Amino acid sequence: MAAVLALLPCLAALAAGRQDYGWEWPLTLSQDDAGAYRVTLDEFVYRRLQDPQLRDLVVFDGAGGAVPTAVLAPEQPLARTAPRLALPWFALPMSKTPSARRWELLSESDADGRLRRVEVSGGAPAERAQADVLIVDLSRVREAVAALELEWKPVEALDLGYRVEASDDLDHWQPLATRGRLVDLQREGRRLLHRRIDLFGLLPHHQRARYLRLTPDRGDQALAIASVEAVFAPRATAAPLSWIELSPSRSSDDRQMYEFRIDGRFPVEQADVALDGNHAVEWRLESRDDADAQWRSRGAPWMGYQVGAEGGRSRPNALATSVRDRQWRLRASTAVANAPVLRLGYRPEVAVFVAQGAPPYALAAGSARALPEPSPVPRLVEALRERHGRDWQPATAYLGSARVLAGEAALRPDWNWRKGLLWGVLLIGALVVAGLALSLLRSSRATAAAEAVPETAGDVEPAPADPDKPEAE
């Protein structure tokens, strides 16, 4: 066993390194200490990949050591939008003295709870403050509100805090664990402006919190609110499709069947056909990974057409699932005069890696000799999203210009000395383990045989001598 343990460093030394990959792209990090990063794969990276599961892609640190890397679906959005909605709001007077702050709120609302009218009775008009309490109507909102943004009429200087409360009935108010602060300051031609009050995640059962009340900390600040907008939780925007155009890989007299080949491992999810002139053709799409495999249908037949300027052209056909096959085939319902161009659409995936080791980091791709190991990155991403929220994303990294490592030689599987040595080490380890097992088995058998001999064996009398047998001189 000690011999096997002594061989483990040899096995580690045989792990795939930079020399086993064809190309690499230096990475530029958007932050220095993010810990985890994501880089969007481009067309040039895909064209170098050989493995259908993209296992021949890894990130190396500055010392040439591989760091945990995994390719994830493009569900992590490239951009996010935050929709907005103007909200109804009502101003209530706030008195300067606490004794005069007793007023009654008289409201009129629709059947669905939307406020139509708000009136205030009680209090002294002469003691009214310049900043008002605001009642914001969220009764028609059905999405999570991330924040409120307020607009006001020009002021000389503004720095005013707000308490925030929520209610469903205008009678019972629940304070929220947040405070708003509106700032509008100017000096030497520069302006400091803050008009946002964050709410997301603070509203208990926010779908039922119909109203918000914003109460200023003091009433001596002149402020006239002009509008209130709801800023909703950011919505993920899907990564846009990228398209690759393929011409038939070989000429044929058959005007109804065309074959295409794509270099790389693109996650194709849509297909389209470009054909000159007006036409209406039903297309069938098939694919396979190599010439020895069977053709597989990639979705139901679809009608491709182009009819004049106003008739337009057909939309792309969506595949049932993304496919990384290299060979594609189109079948037309009727003969076509010109060879079609097959357009394949894909959404670029992202490679997520942990910034172990020291920078600079580089993304390497393209290998038939690499020995990939299962990556912990997908489980890590899930754990971090459980901790920080489902919208958590690694920091961004950017691809630089490609550099050649082993080049095309890395794409040729060959039996080199490194693999031979690896198998030799494994064989020696197996023989050592087998020898130890056999030695232990023999030792156990000898011990069992010794224990089976009776302890009184020394008292047994010798057998009587044969009288017919002559005695030895």
Q: What is the CATH number of the domain that holds 191?
A: 2.60.120
- The pLDDT value recorded for residue 164 is 92
Helix (H, G, I), strand (E, B) or coil at 343: strand
Residues 357 and 334 in one domain: no
The pLDDT tens digits of the residues spanning 182-200 come to 999 998 889 999 999 988 6
Query: Domain for residue 43, yes or no?
Result: yes
Q: Among residues of the chain, what percentage have pLDDT more than 90?
A: 44
26-35, 250-259, 327-336: the lowest-pLDDT one: 250-259
Residues 110 and 226 in one domain: yes
- Give the mean model confidence (pLDDT) for residues 90-105: 59
- Give the mean model confidence (pLDDT) for residues 400-404: 95
Residues 339 and 391 in one domain: no
Q: Which of 188, 212, 233 is the last residue of a domain?
A: 233
- Give the mean model confidence (pLDDT) for residues 310-321: 87
Structural domains of the chain, count: 3
Q: Which of 204, 233, 262 is the last residue of a domain?
A: 233
- Give the mean model confidence (pLDDT) for residues 52-56: 92
The pLDDT tens digits of the residues spanning 244-264 come to 999 998 766 778 899 999 999
- The pLDDT value recorded for residue 63 is 94
- State how far the Cα of 450 lies from the Cα of 452, in Å rounded to an integer: 5
Residues 202 and 246 in one domain: no
- The pLDDT value recorded for residue 140 is 79
Give the helix/strand (H/E) hosting 23: strand 23-29
Find out whether 316 and 272 touch, Cβ atoms under 8 Å. yes
Partners of 175 in the β-ladder: 165
* Tokens coding 183: 């700032």
Asked if pLDDT for residue 271 goes beyond 70, the answer is: yes
Query: Domain for residue 138, yes or no?
Result: yes
- The pLDDT value recorded for residue 124 is 46
Residues 167 and 177 in one domain: yes
With 0-12 / 13-18 / 19 or more C-beta atoms within 10 angstroms meaning exposed / middle / buried, residue 235 is exposed
Asked if pLDDT for residue 143 goes beyond 80, the answer is: no
Query: Domain for residue 462, yes or no?
Result: no
- Most confident range (mean pLDDT) of 98-112, 385-399, 420-434 is 385-399
* Tokens coding 379: 């489980």
Find out whether 227 and 152 touch, Cβ atoms under 8 Å. no
Asked if pLDDT for residue 223 goes beyond 80, the answer is: yes
Asked if pLDDT for residue 113 goes beyond 60, the answer is: no
* Tokens coding 245: 């155009």
Read off the amino acid at residue 408: E
Q: How confident is the model at residue 473 (pLDDT cuts 50, 70, 90)?
A: very low
Q: Among residues of the chain, what percentage have pLDDT more than 70?
A: 74
Query: Domain for residue 447, yes or no?
Result: no
Pick from 140, 20, 18: nearest CA to 86? 140
Find out whether 365 and 295 touch, Cβ atoms under 8 Å. no
Pick from 236, 160, 161, 232: nearest CA to 200? 232
Asked if pLDDT for residue 430 goes beyond 90, the answer is: no
- State how far the Cα of 215 lies from the Cα of 179, in Å rounded to an integer: 10
- The pLDDT value recorded for residue 70 is 95
The model carries a pTM of 0.58
50-64, 197-211, 294-308, 339-353: the lowest-pLDDT one: 197-211
Residues 187 and 247 in one domain: no
Query: Domain for residue 163, yes or no?
Result: yes
Pick from 47, 58, 44: nearest CA to 324? 47
Query: Domain for residue 456, yes or no?
Result: no
Residues 386 and 310 in one domain: no
Residues 312 and 385 in one domain: no
Within 204-288, strands assigned E span 211-216, 225-232, 235-237, 242-246, 257-261, 268-274, 279-288
- The pLDDT value recorded for residue 466 is 55
Asked if pLDDT for residue 293 goes beyond 80, the answer is: yes
Find out whether 257 and 282 touch, Cβ atoms under 8 Å. no
Residue 273: give its domain's CATH number: 2.60.120.260
- Give the mean model confidence (pLDDT) for residues 332-340: 90
- Give the mean model confidence (pLDDT) for residues 392-397: 87
Asked if pLDDT for residue 336 goes beyond 80, the answer is: yes
Residues 96 and 199 in one domain: yes
Residue linked to tokens 């030792």: 443
Residues 55 and 120 in one domain: no
Q: Which of 346, 362, 378 is the last residue of a domain?
A: 346
What is the DSSP annotation of 43-78?
A: HHHHHH---TT--SEEEE-TTS-EE-EEEE-TTS-S
Query: Domain for residue 388, yes or no?
Result: yes
Residues 142 and 264 in one domain: no
Domain span holding position 222: 84-233
Query: Domain for residue 429, yes or no?
Result: no
* Tokens coding 44: 């040039």
Residues 70, 75, 80, 85, Cα dihedral to 10°: -150
Residues 126 and 202 in one domain: yes
